Chains A and B, each alone.
Chain A
C-alpha cells in the first residue's frame, strides 16, 4: 500500500473509524502533510466509506483547512489607492505572468504564495511589496521580479545580494 494511504489508515484507526471524528482526523492529516492532499482525502473517503463530497465540503468550510500547500515564502503586494496609482497593477500582472501564479495562490513549484492586499498603511513607500515580513519600497515590475527570482528555494542560499 502506498505510504500516504497507510498514514490515512492509521489515523482512521486512531479514532476507531468513527466518522463523527472526521474533523480531528482531517486536522491530524493536515498536521502530517502540511495541507490536505486530494489523494489522501480520497483515501479517507474510502476508509470511512463516506462520500468524497462530504469530505470536500468539510475541507472547504472550515478556515483551518488548506487544500493547497503554501509556498515556502509569503509575498504580499499592496494594491491600495496610492500603490495603485504608482503602478501596483502592472507589478501584480508581471508577477502573475512570470511565475504562473494567481492572486491568492501559490506558484507551481511552491516557491511562494502571492497575496495582493488592500493597503498596508505604508503609502510613503509606495509601491510596497512585503516578502516574508520584509518591506521593499518603491518597487517596479522589474525590481519586483528580480527580488522574487532571488528567493532561495528549500536548502539553498539566498541568491539576492541586493538587500534593498
Chain B
C-alpha cells in the first residue's frame, strides 16, 4: 500500500475533489477482504488472520485484492469475522487455517464456503450476508455504520464514504446558530447516561460568558459490561472527531480534548492516528476548510478511576488533579475546565452529529420515540445467546432486543432480569420486557438507559449477589470525597456481606433502603446519588430473594456459598467414588456400588464434588 501524501484542503471544494479522486482510485468491482480486528476478534487471533490475507494479497499477481482491517461489527459472539466484497459474504468463527480456503474459494473463485457462514439456530437458515442474519436484520446502524466497513487507520476510507462532508457543509454554508438549530430539531439527548438534551447544553455553553471555551469527549467508559464507546473509538474515530469539530464551531470553542480510559490502548492509538491524519488535511488546525473556524484536539489518557467518567471529575483529571467531582450548582457549561465554559459530551453523542448535520435534524427525529430520538448502541451481554454490540432505534422493546437480536437466553434457561445502566442502573424483570427502550420509560421502571450496557440474567443468578457485586464495585471506585458515598457504600457492603453469609438481620432491607435514599439525596455527584439504584431495584422486584437470605439463610438461586446445600441424587449416582476421593474434608460416605451421600454436618460447601462428578449426580438444593 503506497503511503499517501496528504495535502492541506483549503476549501470545501478541495474536499469534494479529494473524495472524487479517492473514489476514482477505487474499483467498486474490485475484490476486498475485510477482517475485523476489534478487541473481541483480536483476542481470538484476528490479527494473524489479517496478516495472512495481507500476505496472500501481496503474493497474488493475477488478481488485485484489497485487504482491510476494520473495527468491531458487533457480532462478537461469532468472531473472528471476515467479510468478502463484492457481495458482502460474511464468515463467522474464522480461524487461521481457514484463510487459504476462503482465499481460494471466495476471493478468487467467487464460491461460498458454506461451513463458515452463519446458520440461524432456530430456522436453520444459512445466511450469506449480514442483512440476512437476524442479529443484524432488526438493527439500524447510524453510529455503527462505518464499523466493519472502514479501515479506522485510513482517513481516506472515511472521506470516500462521505466523511467530513457534514463539516464542510457546516462551515461553508451554515452559521453556528444554524448548526445549533439543526441539532435541536433532531432531539438528540446525551448518550453517556444523563440523557440531557444536547442542543440545550451546547446553547448554554455558547451563551456563557468567556472568550475561551472547550469541548470534551468523554471516552472514560467504565461500566462493567459496556464497550460501545470503545468500539466506536477503535472502529470509526473520525465520526467522533468530525462531530467535535462541528460542535466546537457551533459553540465557539477552539480547543477540544478526548479523554480515553487508560484501559483502551487500541482506542488511543486509532484516535491519535486519526487526529494526526485530520491535521494533515487541515481538517483540524487553523481556518478549517477556508473558514474562520480554528480548532484542534488533544488526546488524554485516564489514570484508572471509574469516577473520572463523571464530568467534573474528568475535568479535574485534565487539570492534573485527582478525579474528584465538585458541586454542579454552577454548571460546567458556565465554569468547567480551568473554570472556563466547557461542553462535555459522550463518544456516542459526538458520533451522531455528522449524520444529523448531513441528513438534517428532522431525519434523525423521524427515528425513535416522542422523547427519545434516534438510535442507541447497546452492549448486549450476559446469559444471552448472541452477545455483542447492537444499535437499535429508540422505542424497540427489551423483549425484541433480548429475544430477536440476542437469540434469547442461552442454554434454554429461564429469563430472570436484564440490567441496564451499569452500576447506576437497575434490574428489570420479565414482566416489563415489553417496555420500549426509551430514556423516560426505563427511568420509570427504576432503572435508566445509562451508557448502554445491557446484561441479561437467568434463573441461576442470585439478585442479592448481583447487588452486592455492584456495591463492592462502587465502593472500590468511590473517590471518597463525600461522606454518604464513602461511608454509605461501605456500610451497605457490610450488610450485604452479612446477608450473603447467612448473618442477615431483620431490618436489613429497611436499612439498605434508607441508605439508598440518603445517598440519592445527600451524595455530592451523580455517581454517588445513583450508586444504590441496583440495590433499590433488586429490592423492588426481587424482595423475596432478600427475605429468604435473611430469614431462612437460603439462597434460592443457589449461588451464595453456605446458603444452599449439596446433595447426591441417588438415582443418578453411579458410585464411581470420585467425589469421595476428592472431598477435602471427607464428608462423603458410600459403600462400593452403593449411591453415595454427603454428610451435611461435615460439608464445607466448597463445591468440589459438584465440579468433579462425571454424571451430574451432585445437585444444589
User: Are chains A and B touching in the complex at the 8 Å CB cutoff?
Assistant: yes
A residues with CB within 8 A of B: 18-24, 26-27, 54, 57-58, 61-65, 81-82, 85-86, 123-124, 126
Q: How far is the CA of A22 from the CA of B322 in the complex (A)?
A: 10
- Chain B residues near A86 (CB, 8 Å)? 584
- Chain A residues near B608 (CB, 8 Å)? 123-124
Q: How far is the CA of A21 from the CA of B301 in the complex (A)?
A: 10
| B323 at interface by CB-CB < 8 Å | yes
Q: How far is the CA of A21 from the CA of B303 in the complex (A)?
A: 12
Say yes or no: A82-B604 contact (C-beta < 8 A), given A19-B320, A64-B262, A126-B584.
Answer: yes
Closest A residue, CB atoms, query B257 = A20
Q: How far is the CA of A20 from the CA of B298 in the complex (A)?
A: 12
Tell me if A's interface is mostly helix, strand, loop or mixed.
helix
Q: Do B300 and A54 have beta carbons less than 8 Å apart?
A: no
Q: Do A23 and B584 have beta carbons less than 8 Å apart?
A: no
- Chain A residues near B304 (CB, 8 Å)? 62-65
Q: How large is the interface on B (under 10, 10 to 19, 20 to 34, 35 or more residues)?
A: 20 to 34
Q: Do A82 and B305 have beta carbons less than 8 Å apart?
A: no
Q: Do B584 and A124 have beta carbons less than 8 Å apart?
A: yes
Q: Enumerate 6 A-B pairs (CB-CB under 8 Å) in ascending A order.
A: A21-B300, A26-B303, A62-B303, A81-B561, A123-B606, A124-B611
- Chain A residues near B305 (CB, 8 Å)? 61-63
| B551 at interface by CB-CB < 8 Å | no
Q: Do B584 and A21 have beta carbons less than 8 Å apart?
A: no
Closest B residue, CB atoms, query A60 = B322
Q: How far is the CA of A122 from the CA of B606 in the complex (A)?
A: 9
Q: Do A63 and B303 have beta carbons less than 8 Å apart?
A: yes
| B318 at interface by CB-CB < 8 Å | yes
| B48 at interface by CB-CB < 8 Å | no
- Chain B residues near A26 (CB, 8 Å)? 303
- Chain B residues near A124 (CB, 8 Å)? 582, 584, 606, 608, 611-612
Q: Do B584 and A61 have beta carbons less than 8 Å apart?
A: no
Say yes or no: A20-B319 contact (C-beta < 8 A), given A85-B585, A123-B607.
Answer: yes
- Chain B residues near A82 (CB, 8 Å)? 584-585, 604, 606
| B537 at interface by CB-CB < 8 Å | no
Q: Do B323 and A20 have beta carbons less than 8 Å apart?
A: no
Q: Do B318 and A27 have beta carbons less than 8 Å apart?
A: no
Give the Cβ gap from A105 to chain B, nearest Cβ, in Å.
19
The winner among B303, B317, B321, B561 for most chain A CB atoms within 10 A is B303
Q: Do B320 and A22 have beta carbons less than 8 Å apart?
A: yes
Residues of B580-621 at the interface with A, using a CB-CB cut-off of 8 Å, are 582, 584-585, 604, 606-608, 611-612
Q: Do A123 and B584 have beta carbons less than 8 Å apart?
A: yes
Q: How far is the CA of A20 from the CA of B561 in the complex (A)?
A: 47
The 10 closest A-B pairs by CB, nearest first: A62-B303, A22-B320, A63-B304, A64-B304, A123-B606, A61-B322, A124-B608, A124-B582, A62-B304, A20-B320
Q: Do B318 and A57 have beta carbons less than 8 Å apart?
A: no
The winner among A61, A62, A86 for most chain B CB atoms within 10 A is A61
Give the Cβ gap from A45 to chain B, nearest Cβ, in Å.
12
